[in-house]
Chain A
Amino acid sequence: MKQIVANMAGTVINILVNEGDEVQAGADVVMLESMKMEVPVAAEVSGKVTAIKVNISDFVNEGDILIELEG
Protein backbone atom coordinates (compact mmCIF):
# COMPACT_ATOMS: atom_id res chain seq x y z
CA MET A 1 0.00 0.00 0.00
CA LYS A 2 1.18 3.49 -0.88
CA GLN A 3 0.20 6.69 0.88
CA ILE A 4 -0.18 10.22 -0.35
CA VAL A 5 0.58 12.68 2.44
CA ALA A 6 0.04 16.43 2.82
CA ASN A 7 3.02 18.40 1.55
CA MET A 8 2.22 21.19 4.00
CA ALA A 9 -0.20 22.19 6.72
CA GLY A 10 -3.49 23.51 5.43
CA THR A 11 -7.20 23.02 4.91
CA VAL A 12 -8.56 20.45 2.43
CA ILE A 13 -10.59 22.44 -0.11
CA ASN A 14 -11.13 19.81 -2.77
CA ILE A 15 -10.66 16.08 -3.33
CA LEU A 16 -10.09 15.34 -7.00
CA VAL A 17 -10.36 11.54 -6.97
CA ASN A 18 -12.86 8.90 -5.87
CA GLU A 19 -12.30 5.49 -4.32
CA GLY A 20 -11.54 3.01 -7.09
CA ASP A 21 -10.04 5.61 -9.46
CA GLU A 22 -6.75 4.79 -11.17
CA VAL A 23 -4.38 7.72 -10.69
CA GLN A 24 -1.19 8.37 -12.60
CA ALA A 25 2.01 9.51 -10.91
CA GLY A 26 2.11 13.31 -11.04
CA ALA A 27 -1.66 13.81 -11.12
CA ASP A 28 -3.15 16.20 -8.56
CA VAL A 29 -5.36 14.33 -6.10
CA VAL A 30 -6.17 16.83 -3.34
CA MET A 31 -6.23 20.63 -3.17
CA LEU A 32 -5.15 22.22 0.09
CA GLU A 33 -5.42 25.84 1.02
CA SER A 34 -2.51 27.18 2.98
CA MET A 35 -1.71 30.84 3.63
CA LYS A 36 -4.52 31.96 1.33
CA MET A 37 -3.07 29.94 -1.53
CA GLU A 38 -4.32 26.82 -3.27
CA VAL A 39 -1.70 24.11 -3.01
CA PRO A 40 -2.17 20.97 -5.11
CA VAL A 41 -1.02 17.60 -3.72
CA ALA A 42 0.06 15.19 -6.45
CA ALA A 43 0.41 11.40 -6.40
CA GLU A 44 4.09 10.45 -6.47
CA VAL A 45 3.32 7.01 -7.86
CA SER A 46 0.52 5.50 -9.94
CA GLY A 47 -2.11 3.24 -8.40
CA LYS A 48 -5.73 2.59 -7.56
CA VAL A 49 -7.36 4.71 -4.82
CA THR A 50 -8.36 2.38 -1.97
CA ALA A 51 -9.15 4.93 0.72
CA ILE A 52 -9.68 8.67 1.11
CA LYS A 53 -8.66 9.61 4.63
CA VAL A 54 -9.83 13.22 4.74
CA ASN A 55 -12.96 15.29 4.12
CA ILE A 56 -13.36 18.69 2.57
CA SER A 57 -12.66 21.47 5.11
CA ASP A 58 -10.53 19.17 7.33
CA PHE A 59 -7.36 20.78 8.64
CA VAL A 60 -4.26 18.65 8.02
CA ASN A 61 -0.66 18.92 9.16
CA GLU A 62 2.38 18.29 6.99
CA GLY A 63 2.83 14.52 6.64
CA ASP A 64 -0.78 13.60 7.42
CA ILE A 65 -2.13 10.78 5.23
CA LEU A 66 -4.65 12.00 2.64
CA ILE A 67 -5.12 9.06 0.32
CA GLU A 68 -4.11 5.39 0.16
CA LEU A 69 -3.29 3.65 -3.10
CA GLU A 70 -2.62 0.07 -4.15
CA GLY A 71 -1.01 -1.25 -7.24
Chain B
Amino acid sequence: MSAPASKPSALPARRLRRSEHTGPLAFASLPLAFLLLLFLVPVARLMLLSIEGGTLAHYERALTDGLYVRVLLGTLEIGLYVSLICLLLGYPVAHFLATASDRWATIGFVFLLLPFWTSLLVRTYAWMVLLGRNGVVNRFLLETGVISQPLPLLYNMSGVLIGMVHVLLPFMVFPIYSIMRRVDSGLLLAAEGLGATSWKIFQRIYLPLTLPGVLAGTTLVFILSIGFYITPALLGGGRVLMIAVLIEKQIREFLNWGFASALSVVLLAAALIVYAAFRRLMQSDLRWS
Protein backbone atom coordinates (compact mmCIF):
# COMPACT_ATOMS: atom_id res chain seq x y z
CA MET B 1 0.00 0.00 0.00
CA SER B 2 2.92 2.32 0.60
CA ALA B 3 4.49 1.86 -2.83
CA PRO B 4 2.20 4.16 -4.83
CA ALA B 5 2.33 6.72 -2.06
CA SER B 6 6.09 7.15 -2.20
CA LYS B 7 6.31 8.77 -5.64
CA PRO B 8 2.76 9.74 -6.40
CA SER B 9 3.15 12.16 -9.28
CA ALA B 10 5.90 10.76 -11.51
CA LEU B 11 4.36 7.43 -12.46
CA PRO B 12 1.00 8.44 -13.95
CA ALA B 13 2.46 11.43 -15.78
CA ARG B 14 5.08 9.34 -17.54
CA ARG B 15 2.62 6.63 -18.42
CA LEU B 16 0.29 9.21 -19.91
CA ARG B 17 2.90 10.50 -22.34
CA ARG B 18 4.22 7.12 -23.33
CA SER B 19 0.90 5.48 -24.08
CA GLU B 20 -0.63 8.15 -26.24
CA HIS B 21 -0.81 5.76 -29.17
CA THR B 22 -1.75 2.60 -27.34
CA GLY B 23 -5.52 2.96 -27.46
CA PRO B 24 -7.61 1.98 -24.46
CA LEU B 25 -4.87 2.42 -21.89
CA ALA B 26 -4.20 5.94 -23.10
CA PHE B 27 -7.90 6.59 -23.04
CA ALA B 28 -8.16 5.41 -19.46
CA SER B 29 -4.93 6.87 -18.18
CA LEU B 30 -6.28 10.28 -17.26
CA PRO B 31 -9.08 8.93 -15.07
CA LEU B 32 -6.62 6.38 -13.69
CA ALA B 33 -4.22 9.13 -12.73
CA PHE B 34 -7.09 11.04 -11.21
CA LEU B 35 -8.11 8.04 -9.10
CA LEU B 36 -4.56 7.32 -8.08
CA LEU B 37 -3.83 10.88 -7.02
CA LEU B 38 -7.07 11.83 -5.38
CA PHE B 39 -8.29 8.55 -4.00
CA LEU B 40 -5.68 5.84 -3.57
CA VAL B 41 -2.96 8.11 -2.31
CA PRO B 42 -5.08 9.73 0.43
CA VAL B 43 -6.50 6.36 1.43
CA ALA B 44 -3.02 4.90 1.64
CA ARG B 45 -1.86 7.85 3.71
CA LEU B 46 -4.82 7.48 6.03
CA MET B 47 -3.99 3.82 6.46
CA LEU B 48 -0.41 4.68 7.25
CA LEU B 49 -1.67 6.86 10.10
CA SER B 50 -3.01 3.76 11.87
CA ILE B 51 0.46 2.27 12.21
CA GLU B 52 2.28 5.51 12.87
CA GLY B 53 5.14 5.00 15.24
CA GLY B 54 5.45 1.37 14.19
CA THR B 55 2.91 0.13 16.70
CA LEU B 56 -0.22 -1.93 16.26
CA ALA B 57 -1.74 -0.59 19.46
CA HIS B 58 -4.63 1.06 17.59
CA TYR B 59 -5.57 -2.25 16.01
CA GLU B 60 -5.27 -4.05 19.30
CA ARG B 61 -7.72 -1.63 20.81
CA ALA B 62 -10.10 -1.80 17.84
CA LEU B 63 -10.24 -5.58 17.97
CA THR B 64 -10.35 -6.14 21.74
CA ASP B 65 -12.24 -3.22 23.23
CA GLY B 66 -15.77 -4.52 23.84
CA LEU B 67 -17.50 -1.37 22.59
CA TYR B 68 -15.75 -1.30 19.25
CA VAL B 69 -16.10 -5.01 18.61
CA ARG B 70 -19.78 -4.82 19.47
CA VAL B 71 -20.35 -1.83 17.22
CA LEU B 72 -18.37 -3.43 14.40
CA LEU B 73 -20.45 -6.61 14.62
CA GLY B 74 -23.61 -4.51 14.91
CA THR B 75 -22.59 -2.61 11.80
CA LEU B 76 -22.10 -5.83 9.85
CA GLU B 77 -25.45 -7.06 11.15
CA ILE B 78 -27.22 -3.91 9.97
CA GLY B 79 -25.45 -4.26 6.62
CA LEU B 80 -26.76 -7.80 6.40
CA TYR B 81 -30.34 -6.76 7.26
CA VAL B 82 -30.26 -3.87 4.82
CA SER B 83 -28.87 -6.11 2.06
CA LEU B 84 -31.50 -8.76 2.70
CA ILE B 85 -34.41 -6.32 2.78
CA CYS B 86 -33.11 -4.57 -0.33
CA LEU B 87 -32.82 -7.94 -2.07
CA LEU B 88 -36.34 -9.00 -1.13
CA LEU B 89 -37.78 -5.65 -2.25
CA GLY B 90 -35.42 -5.06 -5.16
CA TYR B 91 -35.62 -8.42 -6.93
CA PRO B 92 -39.33 -8.14 -7.79
CA VAL B 93 -38.88 -4.46 -8.70
CA ALA B 94 -36.01 -5.33 -11.03
CA HIS B 95 -38.11 -8.08 -12.58
CA PHE B 96 -40.96 -5.67 -13.11
CA LEU B 97 -38.66 -3.14 -14.78
CA ALA B 98 -37.00 -5.81 -16.92
CA THR B 99 -40.25 -7.26 -18.24
CA ALA B 100 -42.64 -4.28 -18.27
CA SER B 101 -43.56 -2.41 -21.44
CA ASP B 102 -41.39 0.58 -22.29
CA ARG B 103 -43.93 2.96 -20.85
CA TRP B 104 -44.27 1.24 -17.49
CA ALA B 105 -40.53 0.70 -17.26
CA THR B 106 -39.97 4.43 -17.75
CA ILE B 107 -42.49 5.28 -15.05
CA GLY B 108 -40.87 2.73 -12.73
CA PHE B 109 -37.41 4.16 -13.32
CA VAL B 110 -38.59 7.69 -12.61
CA PHE B 111 -39.93 6.55 -9.23
CA LEU B 112 -36.78 4.60 -8.53
CA LEU B 113 -34.50 7.52 -9.39
CA LEU B 114 -36.62 10.28 -7.85
CA PRO B 115 -34.85 10.02 -4.48
CA PHE B 116 -31.49 10.62 -6.20
CA TRP B 117 -32.63 14.09 -7.15
CA THR B 118 -33.04 15.01 -3.50
CA SER B 119 -30.16 15.44 -1.08
CA LEU B 120 -29.52 12.61 1.35
CA LEU B 121 -29.90 14.99 4.27
CA VAL B 122 -33.28 16.24 3.11
CA ARG B 123 -34.50 12.70 2.59
CA THR B 124 -33.36 11.66 6.03
CA TYR B 125 -35.14 14.60 7.68
CA ALA B 126 -38.20 13.77 5.62
CA TRP B 127 -38.19 10.29 7.13
CA MET B 128 -38.00 11.84 10.58
CA VAL B 129 -41.15 13.80 9.83
CA LEU B 130 -42.85 10.69 8.49
CA LEU B 131 -41.77 8.19 11.14
CA GLY B 132 -41.99 10.20 14.39
CA ARG B 133 -44.47 9.51 17.21
CA ASN B 134 -46.76 12.12 15.72
CA GLY B 135 -45.50 11.52 12.22
CA VAL B 136 -47.62 10.96 9.17
CA VAL B 137 -47.34 7.17 9.30
CA ASN B 138 -48.35 6.80 12.94
CA ARG B 139 -51.18 9.34 12.66
CA PHE B 140 -52.59 7.57 9.63
CA LEU B 141 -52.43 4.16 11.30
CA LEU B 142 -53.98 5.49 14.50
CA GLU B 143 -56.80 7.26 12.72
CA THR B 144 -57.65 4.27 10.59
CA GLY B 145 -57.66 2.14 13.72
CA VAL B 146 -54.95 -0.26 12.59
CA ILE B 147 -53.01 0.43 15.79
CA SER B 148 -53.96 1.91 19.16
CA GLN B 149 -50.48 2.94 20.29
CA PRO B 150 -47.99 4.85 18.10
CA LEU B 151 -45.36 2.48 16.68
CA PRO B 152 -41.76 3.22 17.70
CA LEU B 153 -40.43 3.82 14.20
CA LEU B 154 -37.89 6.54 14.86
CA TYR B 155 -34.65 6.65 16.90
CA ASN B 156 -34.28 2.89 16.80
CA MET B 157 -33.30 0.05 14.51
CA SER B 158 -36.47 0.13 12.38
CA GLY B 159 -35.95 3.82 11.60
CA VAL B 160 -32.36 3.18 10.58
CA LEU B 161 -33.33 0.21 8.42
CA ILE B 162 -36.18 2.04 6.72
CA GLY B 163 -33.99 5.03 5.93
CA MET B 164 -31.06 2.97 4.71
CA VAL B 165 -33.14 0.63 2.58
CA HIS B 166 -34.75 3.64 0.97
CA VAL B 167 -31.39 5.10 0.03
CA LEU B 168 -29.78 1.87 -1.08
CA LEU B 169 -32.61 0.12 -2.94
CA PRO B 170 -31.61 1.46 -6.38
CA PHE B 171 -28.12 0.03 -5.92
CA MET B 172 -29.73 -3.39 -5.57
CA VAL B 173 -32.20 -2.92 -8.41
CA PHE B 174 -29.82 -1.78 -11.16
CA PRO B 175 -27.34 -4.67 -11.21
CA ILE B 176 -30.16 -7.23 -11.00
CA TYR B 177 -32.14 -5.39 -13.66
CA SER B 178 -29.25 -5.34 -16.10
CA ILE B 179 -28.71 -9.10 -15.68
CA MET B 180 -32.42 -9.82 -16.00
CA ARG B 181 -32.53 -7.94 -19.29
CA ARG B 182 -29.96 -10.35 -20.67
CA VAL B 183 -31.84 -13.52 -19.73
CA ASP B 184 -33.01 -15.20 -22.93
CA SER B 185 -36.78 -15.56 -22.61
CA GLY B 186 -36.53 -18.57 -24.93
CA LEU B 187 -34.94 -20.48 -22.07
CA LEU B 188 -38.01 -19.92 -19.93
CA LEU B 189 -40.24 -21.11 -22.78
CA ALA B 190 -38.03 -24.15 -23.23
CA ALA B 191 -38.27 -24.97 -19.54
CA GLU B 192 -42.03 -24.65 -19.69
CA GLY B 193 -42.19 -26.90 -22.73
CA LEU B 194 -40.08 -29.48 -20.91
CA GLY B 195 -42.68 -29.69 -18.18
CA ALA B 196 -41.61 -27.14 -15.57
CA THR B 197 -44.16 -25.32 -13.42
CA SER B 198 -43.83 -21.54 -12.92
CA TRP B 199 -42.18 -22.09 -9.56
CA LYS B 200 -39.73 -24.62 -11.01
CA ILE B 201 -38.89 -22.28 -13.87
CA PHE B 202 -38.09 -19.57 -11.35
CA GLN B 203 -36.18 -21.81 -8.98
CA ARG B 204 -34.21 -23.85 -11.49
CA ILE B 205 -33.72 -21.42 -14.37
CA TYR B 206 -34.51 -17.76 -13.71
CA LEU B 207 -33.00 -17.41 -10.26
CA PRO B 208 -29.71 -19.14 -11.09
CA LEU B 209 -29.42 -17.10 -14.28
CA THR B 210 -29.93 -13.83 -12.39
CA LEU B 211 -27.64 -14.83 -9.53
CA PRO B 212 -24.67 -12.77 -10.81
CA GLY B 213 -26.89 -9.68 -10.52
CA VAL B 214 -27.95 -10.68 -7.04
CA LEU B 215 -24.33 -11.09 -6.04
CA ALA B 216 -23.35 -7.72 -7.51
CA GLY B 217 -26.32 -5.88 -5.98
CA THR B 218 -25.97 -7.48 -2.58
CA THR B 219 -22.24 -6.79 -2.44
CA LEU B 220 -22.75 -3.19 -3.47
CA VAL B 221 -25.50 -2.56 -0.95
CA PHE B 222 -23.65 -4.33 1.84
CA ILE B 223 -20.42 -2.43 1.33
CA LEU B 224 -22.21 0.90 1.01
CA SER B 225 -24.38 0.24 4.04
CA ILE B 226 -21.62 -0.58 6.51
CA GLY B 227 -20.05 2.81 5.81
CA PHE B 228 -23.30 4.74 6.37
CA TYR B 229 -23.12 7.75 8.60
CA ILE B 230 -25.83 10.40 8.28
CA THR B 231 -28.85 8.10 8.13
CA PRO B 232 -28.04 5.99 11.22
CA ALA B 233 -26.86 9.09 13.08
CA LEU B 234 -30.14 10.95 12.53
CA LEU B 235 -32.74 8.16 12.36
CA GLY B 236 -31.02 6.11 15.07
CA GLY B 237 -31.08 9.01 17.47
CA GLY B 238 -27.79 7.89 19.03
CA ARG B 239 -29.24 4.54 20.01
CA VAL B 240 -28.09 2.69 16.93
CA LEU B 241 -24.34 2.92 16.73
CA MET B 242 -22.59 2.19 13.49
CA ILE B 243 -18.87 2.14 13.08
CA ALA B 244 -18.82 5.27 10.92
CA VAL B 245 -20.38 7.23 13.77
CA LEU B 246 -17.58 6.12 16.06
CA ILE B 247 -14.92 6.92 13.51
CA GLU B 248 -16.29 10.41 13.13
CA LYS B 249 -16.32 10.83 16.90
CA GLN B 250 -12.66 9.80 17.13
CA ILE B 251 -11.69 12.42 14.62
CA ARG B 252 -13.95 15.29 15.62
CA GLU B 253 -14.00 14.93 19.39
CA PHE B 254 -10.77 13.18 20.27
CA LEU B 255 -8.62 14.14 17.28
CA ASN B 256 -7.37 10.54 17.42
CA TRP B 257 -6.59 10.10 13.71
CA GLY B 258 -4.54 7.00 14.25
CA PHE B 259 -7.34 5.09 15.98
CA ALA B 260 -9.97 6.38 13.53
CA SER B 261 -7.77 5.13 10.74
CA ALA B 262 -7.38 1.71 12.36
CA LEU B 263 -11.16 1.44 12.69
CA SER B 264 -11.54 2.31 8.98
CA VAL B 265 -9.04 -0.36 8.00
CA VAL B 266 -10.84 -2.95 10.13
CA LEU B 267 -14.12 -1.98 8.48
CA LEU B 268 -12.59 -2.30 5.02
CA ALA B 269 -11.09 -5.68 5.90
CA ALA B 270 -14.42 -6.89 7.28
CA ALA B 271 -16.16 -5.83 4.06
CA LEU B 272 -13.60 -7.66 1.92
CA ILE B 273 -13.82 -10.80 4.03
CA VAL B 274 -17.61 -10.86 3.83
CA TYR B 275 -17.44 -10.29 0.08
CA ALA B 276 -14.90 -13.08 -0.43
CA ALA B 277 -16.93 -15.46 1.71
CA PHE B 278 -20.07 -14.62 -0.22
CA ARG B 279 -18.35 -15.19 -3.55
CA ARG B 280 -16.88 -18.46 -2.42
CA LEU B 281 -20.26 -19.63 -1.24
CA MET B 282 -21.71 -19.01 -4.69
CA GLN B 283 -18.70 -20.11 -6.69
CA SER B 284 -20.16 -23.36 -7.92
CA ASP B 285 -23.41 -21.60 -8.87
CA LEU B 286 -21.52 -19.01 -10.89
CA ARG B 287 -19.14 -21.31 -12.73
CA TRP B 288 -21.10 -20.93 -15.96
CA SER B 289 -21.01 -17.13 -16.14
Is the pairing of A and B real? no
Residues of A within 8 A of B (CB): none
Residues of B within 8 A of A (CB): none
